Chain A
Amino acid sequence: MSPWLLVAVPALASLVGVVVRREDRWAGAVAVLAGGLTLLLAGIAWVLEPGSTAGHVLDLPVGGLDLPLATATDPARLAVATVVALVALAVQAYSTWYLGADDRYGQFAATVSLFTAAMLLVVVSADLVLTLVGWEVMGWCSYLLIGHWSRRPEARRAALKAFLVTRVADIGFVLGVVGFVAGAGTSGLSGVVGAWREPTGCLQEQLAAGAPLPEALGACDAPDGRARTVLLVLLVVGVLGKSAQVPFQDWLPDAMEGPTPASALIHAATMVAAGTVVLAGLHPLLADSPTARWVLGVAVSVSMLLAAVLAFAQSDLKRMLAWSTVSQVGVMLSAVAAAPPADGPDAGLLHLWSHALFKSLLFLALGWAAVAAGGTAAVRMRGSASATPVLRAALLVGFLSLAGVPLVVGGVSKEHVLAAAYDGAVAGDGPGVLVLVALVLTSAATAAYATRGYLLLTAHRRDRPRAGTVTPAAPAVLWALTGASVLGGLVVLTGSFALHQVSLLWLVLTVLVVGVGVALALVGGLDRDPAEVLARRLVPYADRGLGVDGLYRRVVARPVLRLARVVAYVDTEVVDGYVRGTALATRAAGWLGSRLHRGERSSTAVGLVVGGALLLGAVGVLGWS
């Protein structure tokens, strides 16, 4: 079975979905059936035939460049593909209820299908160009999904911001891809890795010999060590943007303006996590480049800790989940950044797997609760899940997982991440120590806000909250995801992810750290909002994401717009000036000429003849001799 099928089914579904977008029932049926089929295919592939690589399905004759457009289906990728398909199916099924009354449900479902296809493409791609295709399409889908309720100005702005921030970061990603492909002469992942694995020191030598950079660049077109570092950093920048890591983190909380199922999809299994998959594919190169590892390590360490703290202090629970995503994606990437070459990146992928399950569960549960409560603010949602058993169960499992309690899926993966970071710290040439410290602190903070979230949502209320009217799809989805979150950790037993044995020590340490976090959250007792108790002063700042939005505007948006105005002015007044100047000069010459001929005097005419003859004679005699 070709992995292309995995991509083609949801892509086709989106195409069909666009055609039948006016008919909600058809659109829903197409989306859910396609989602189910995709999951089935992914599962079958995972179970039956891992380990194949296929290339050259499309023959693109582009001169000297080799574009195999290869796909790869190793077990880890297929596992991730399966969980992506699962979450996508869950989101599609859930949306039939959540957006059932929406007048643009059809478009939404089609976009989700396309989004799924793009993510699956990134997952199965073993080709940088294919990866880029999926990567960019996801960005566009996120724009459509976040801006789904485009009647609201906030949604429009959030969509714009999400796309622009990620696209700006993508400058790095695109250039990185182009650079790697150019150096290798092929876009196939194995070819790129092979070519760049043993780089030359050409640039280094040229620069040391005193050649200026442009010349040195011209002299070294073979894969080069310095160039590799630059390209890796560029790629990392792109990944940081899509994954909403510092300094690009601020688009993600704003993206909560989108419908909750869209948030679940974007956060849990697709866009923000995609960077982990990409970097995992390039891990052999990354692990060899301390600079790139440090850039990534520092960014994700800051991100995960900062985001965890901000999550704790959010007054809006949906935004709390958003910040938790930033933090958890940081955790995934930290495994890639810190893991020494021998360990491989699979700890990060495992965390991607588990995060997909529990984060989608949390989002979908929260979405239901928010519908019941009529808003997502912490004050309003207080106790909104307390009356619905399925919600309580889902939230319990979800938050336990988020906190990283051992044995549920989140705990299992987090232990592996910690172990990888520890290995990295021991190996010593990467940011292992930093990452390890950040991870431990983040785990505690995560446990604290997870506790806060659970406490708030399931707090006892005098008035019995309404459960909201739901179709059977919603509870079914939640039950399924709850089950998956509980049992998902068993995936380590399948051997799909290349993991090291985790010693019991990590179990104990995790329990300890989580315990500290939970205890911290419970300082104020069970009835009070821990954020009120511990971080009341921080809340207003946290809600605004520390004002980074203003920073974006001041540092990027406004200067660019100012430059644009200058350019537009220069374009019409200066660049076009020479055109108008020519016209003006012609007219002036014409005016001057007709002034000269105004008299139309015959004597002038004769004078001109005589003068002209003299001039010509002089020119002739002087010129010819």
Chain B
Amino acid sequence: MVVSLLLALPAAAGLWLVTAGRATPPRLARPLAAASALGTAVLAVLVLVTGSQVDRAWLPELGLRWSFAADGISAPLLLLTAGIGLVVTAHAWVELPPGGSPAGYLGCLLLVETGALATFTARDAVLFLVAFEVVLVPMWVLVGRYGDRRDPRARADAAGRFVLYTAAGSSTLLVGILLLVVSTGTADLRELADGAGAALGPGRQLAVALLLVLGLAVKVPVLPLHTWLPPAHTTAPTAGSVLLAAVLLKMGTYGLVRLPLATVPDGFGRLAPVLAVAGAVGVVWGGLVCLVERDLKRLVAYSSVAHMGFVVLALASGSETGVQAALLANVAHGLVAALLFVLVGGLKQRWGSVDLAVRRPALRETSPRLGLALVVGLAASLGLPGLATFWGELLALYSAWAPAGDRPRGVFVAAAVLAAVGAALAAAYALRVAGLVWAGDRPAADAGTGTDAVGVERWVLVTLAGAVVVLGVAPMLVLSSTADAVAGLGGLR
């Protein structure tokens, strides 16, 4: 019951805002959206507390059930999504992108949140896919209509690329899911996970795993399927980027855990070396591009590619530690990316562009609060202990070094070494940004002071930075939530 409400509340508010309430003035739409997001967050907590679930037939012809529930694996992501939903709706007080009605914008944010929540709670493979698709259109609208005003062509290109690329992924995913469902005769994710693919022959397992991994890899994104991400991030409005990085990408990794890893472990195991190498190369690749990227927003996007590389590497290892690491790194990256995108969005709003080639006075001098938040974000980005990303990425390295028994250890150790090199690159690009933006390369004397973060923006930053620190100091908040559920995944060894 509560879980139905959890989905219905943002869906109803979002739909109303994009349809009937499209003309609602911002003064009413903002509180409404924020209230819905707050209500959703409360409901998310309630769902976790009460263990609410709903399970009824929806499409019996397809064996498809209307089945939503949260378990340990989805709990952190559920909270993350609800929290980010609050953040983005609150951020509307800071920035309301032009391009369409404000209410429509807020509605799209809520709809994306709905889709993500549904994805994280879906207990049925086909329903998972349907939920997976829900985010596409609102996100497309966010990028395509409310995105960067300067270049309409680039905007259309980025939006189209996002939606088509991810649709290609989800179509592949659909085929994989259908093959899995027809092979096993059930679409229930729990049953599928319990069966762990025992009903499938090795060839079928491999085919299913390949399709599932390919489809989800687009969303994660895994190198070389990542090229939709940078344009989408660069173009999307701040809140859109935050949702994209903090929530949408997580749907991909979550899917990897729920689908191939849990349901066809043997097939996944055969793909794992490729995935591990792709992840590790992604870490290095993203890091290298960040070293020379000029647009700060694009840079953060590529750093996302690098961070998700760690997550993929950990998942590929197939050990319990690896999955734990991946889930932790997943949430951590969500927080860090949200923090960085809010910051960069703020900077873009102030400066007009975030071209790193433009010499600017030190942020730590002109806007100390933004500067502090930036330093926290960058430090987290380079994996500083005490901040969120460290644990996940260290454990990812560990799990790659000691992968599950059936994995080719040589490949995984090589991937771990590569990823460790990538971590050093992360330091290089993070400090490059710190040097150019935070410390500044223009004397402050001729700049005057910029406007610092005040009001909502300040609190958004404080919240996100605080969450980054808290998760860094207390990673067990996530780990203990996921531990039992991960241990229950049949395919792990």
Contacts and interface: CB of A to CB of B under 8 A. Distances in A.
Given A214-B409, A561-B292, A64 B320 contact: yes
A65 interface: yes
Interface string A173-186: 01100110110000
B440 interface: yes
Contacts of B435: 156, 160
B355 interface: no
Contact of B410 (A217, A561, A575): A217
A133 B486 contact: no
Nearest to A213: B410
A248 to B, nearest CB: 13
A561 B425 CA distance: 11
B486 A63 contact: yes
A163 B431 contact: yes
B410 A214 contact: yes
A516 B296 CA distance: 58
A564 B410 CA distance: 26
B319 interface: yes
A308 B478 CA distance: 50
A168 interface: yes
Contact of B427 (A164, A182, A563, A571): A164
A171 interface: yes
Interface residues of A, number: 55
Most buried by B among A164, A167, A576: A167
A356 to B, nearest CB: 23
B316 to A, nearest CB: 15
A132 B416 CA distance: 17
Interface string B373-409: 0000001001111100011001101100110000011
B439 interface: yes
A567 interface: yes
A212 B397 CA distance: 23
Interface residues of B, number: 70
Contacts of A560: 288, 291, 425, 428
Contact of B289 (A163, A213, A217, A571): A571
Given A170-B424, A178-B394, A560-B291, A150 B386 contact: no
A53 B324 CA distance: 28
A445 B398 CA distance: 44
Contacts of A140: 379, 384
Interface in B340-394: 362, 364-365, 372, 379, 382-386, 390-391, 394
Contacts of A213: 410
Interface stretch (A54-62, A324-332, A361-369, A414-422): A54-62
A232 to B, nearest CB: 16
B411 interface: yes
Given A58-B476, A63-B324, A160-B435, A567 B420 contact: no
B483 interface: yes
A198 interface: no
A171 B398 contact: no
A181 B398 contact: yes
Contacts of A168: 424
Given A170-B424, A214-B409, A571-B227, A179 B401 contact: yes
Interface in A22-74: 58-65
A433 B85 CA distance: 66
A616 interface: no
Contacts of B402: 182, 221
A215 B412 CA distance: 12
B439 A147 contact: yes
Contacts, number: 154
A143 interface: yes
Nearest to B432: A160
Interface in B262-301: 285, 288-289, 291-293
A568 interface: yes
A17 to B, nearest CB: 12
Contact of B409 (A58, A137, A160, A221): A221
A61 B324 contact: yes
Contacts of B486: 63
Most buried by B among A61, A181, A576, A579: A61
A571 B320 contact: no
A12 to B, nearest CB: 12
Most buried by B among A62, A150, A215: A62
A151 interface: yes
Secondary structure call for the A interface: helix
A218 interface: yes
A571 B230 CA distance: 11
Contacts of B394: 129, 132, 174, 178
Interface in B41-78: none
B417 interface: yes
Given A62-B321, A133-B385, A564-B289, A150 B379 contact: no
A568 B427 CA distance: 18
Contacts of B476: 58-61
A579 B1 CA distance: 43
A178 B408 contact: no
A136 interface: yes
A59 B480 contact: yes
Given A151-B444, A568-B293, A575-B224, A61 B483 contact: yes
B323 interface: yes
B479 interface: yes
Given A60-B476, A140-B384, A150-B440, A567 B165 contact: no
B139 to A, nearest CB: 18
Contact of A218 (B161, B372, B408): B408
A148 to B, nearest CB: 10
Nearest to B395: A62
B479 A60 contact: yes
24 contacts: A61-B476, A62-B325, A62-B483, A63-B486, A63-B492, A64-B320, A133-B385, A136-B390, A137-B384, A143-B431, A150-B364, A163-B427, A164-B431, A171-B424, A174-B420, A175-B397, A175-B417, A175-B420, A214-B411, A216-B410, A561-B292, A567-B289, A571-B285, A572-B227
Given A61-B480, A579-B227, 14 more contacts: A58-B474, A62-B479, A63-B486, A136-B384, A163-B427, A175-B420, A216-B410, A217-B410, A218-B409, A560-B428, A561-B292, A565-B292, A568-B293, A571-B285
